[in-house]
Amino acid sequence: MSLVGDLAARAHSVASRPVPPAVRAAVRAHLTDAVGALIAGHTTLAGSLPGLARTLSADDGAARRTAFLAGVYAHGWEAGDIHRGSVLCPGCVVLPATLAVLPEDASADQYERAYLAGYEVALAAAAVIGGEGLIRQGWWPTALLAPLGGAAAASVLRGRSPGVTASAIALAAQHAGGSIAGATDRADGKYLLSGFAAERAVTAFLAADSGWTGPLDILDDPRSPLRRSDTALPSGYLLPETSLKPHAGAKHLQGAIDAVLALRSGGWRRGEVRRLRCLLPAQLAGIVDRPPPFGSALSALGSAQFVLAVSALRGHCTPWDFEDGALHDEAVLELARVVEVGPADDLTAAYPAKWGARVEITTTSGVVSADRLDARGDPGNPLPDNEIVGKFTTLAERELGRARARRVAESLLGADPVPVLREHVLPLLGGTFGRSPENAAAGVRTGGSS
């Protein structure tokens, strides 16, 4: 049994067997002591720090809930952005944080500057602390460091002083956490990581805005697990160096998916592909070498075997390709079994600046191959606006309807984003709105999902 299982068994054993009188007396003593501490804290903190009540008020609770839901949804299918050098996904925390505290009178300029500020803070922190080093220790850099950017973005959006922003960043760092250790075949808690990170960003801002002060030296303290290295803060804007993903799934595989789709031409029939070899940087190859069976969508998202088989057979890799039926599709499983994953020296040398891929496919007709050093969406190979709109439409059409999804994407790219966020996004996080005409006729659900 796992240690977690051992601990759970211990808890239930303790709770079900007779408790010796001396132990029960000790329980009551500790309970009494803890309650006394709670009451003393209430007497001293609630009375002298009104900010505590304000931080936990009903209105602010709604803001934290908005951030949590938005964070879970934004990273659910790993379709958001990522910075390769720092291994950080800023959007799934910065967007929820700004949605949670969006002022009624926010202008486009005010919102966009705050959003940019959130990215710059999160990415700069990741650059000097070292995102890849955190991953090697089992931590998700986004959970630890993106809340610093989310807290900063919320503070800037609300027009607060640099002092409040600094405390918000420090509090977000002080309360950091989020491990990616452990298997996902039978566990889905990883979906919550980005939600907790976004909620933590908003809570840090609300606390700082209520008068709480964070330890401003937390990133410099030698004892801190999030301490700066000797690396200098990067110059220039970091947001443009952040990759967009054209496909759902782990960033490790975006170049490989591109290569498969480029080779696909008219597509392959079941059984036509005899072997699919995928070479990656050594730092990535072992992480995504996950052959079938696929126990969950979460495990399939990071499996080279699954995403490349789906891409080869279906010509795309979207969130809808990870639904239960796909995980047990015999054609997908058959091809996944002949997908081989390994390292390539040149790709390893280019990492982490480049997350390249080399794909070789052996079919009944012969062998074809393709290399991708920059996936589509990387800074060296940016997505044009029409592809961004196309991706957005694919992701949003089940909720908004195809025509409405396209209009929303075009509006976000070319107009004031604030009314669009209010009308089409915020209702999904705690309210309802009308169905699109085409979906209303078809009986498709739209609106609040809570």
Q: What is the pLDDT of residue 52?
A: 58
Q: What is the pLDDT of residue 448?
A: 27
Where are the alpha helices (H) located in 265-353, listed in sequence order? 282-288, 297-301, 304-314, 324-327, 330-336, 345-350
Q: What are phi and psi of 128, to 5 degrees?
A: -90, -20
Q: What is the pLDDT of residue 430?
A: 77
Q: Mapping DSSP to helix (H, G, I), strand (E, B) and coil, where does residue 161 land?
A: coil
Q: What is the pLDDT of residue 42?
A: 67
Q: What is the pLDDT of residue 446?
A: 28
Q: What is the mean pLDDT of each run of 10 residues along the chain (450 residues)?
A: 79 86 82 76 60 65 91 89 91 94 93 93 91 86 94 94 93 92 82 92 94 91 89 89 92 96 87 95 95 92 96 93 90 96 97 93 94 93 92 90 92 90 89 37 30
Would you list the domain boundaries of the chain?
1-49, 58-229, 251-372, 385-442
The superfamily (CATH) of domain 251-372 is 2-methylcitrate dehydratase PrpD (3.30.1330.120)
Q: Which amino acid is at 287?
A: I
Burial class (CB in 10 A: 0-12, 13-18, 19+), 6: exposed
Q: Give CA–CA dist 302/252, Å, rounded.
A: 8
Q: Mapping DSSP to helix (H, G, I), strand (E, B) and coil, where does residue 340 land?
A: strand
Q: What is the pLDDT of residue 46?
A: 60
Q: Give CA–CA dist 372/252, Å, rounded.
A: 12
Q: Give CA–CA dist 215/207, Å, rounded.
A: 13
pTM attached to this predicted model: 0.87
Q: What is the pLDDT of residue 45?
A: 64
Q: What is the pLDDT of residue 26?
A: 83
Q: Note the residue count of the chain.
A: 450
The distance in angstroms from the start CA to the end CA of the chain is 36
Q: Give CA–CA dist 249/310, Å, rounded.
A: 11
Q: What is the pLDDT of residue 432?
A: 32
In the CATH scheme, what architecture does the domain 58-229 have?
Orthogonal Bundle (1.10)
| C-alpha to C-alpha distances, 152 to 110, 144, 396, nearest whole angstrom | 13, 14, 28
| CB count in 10 Å sphere of residue 447 | 15
| C-alpha to C-alpha distances, 383 to 118, 246, 327, nearest whole angstrom | 22, 8, 29
Q: Which amino acid is at 341?
A: V
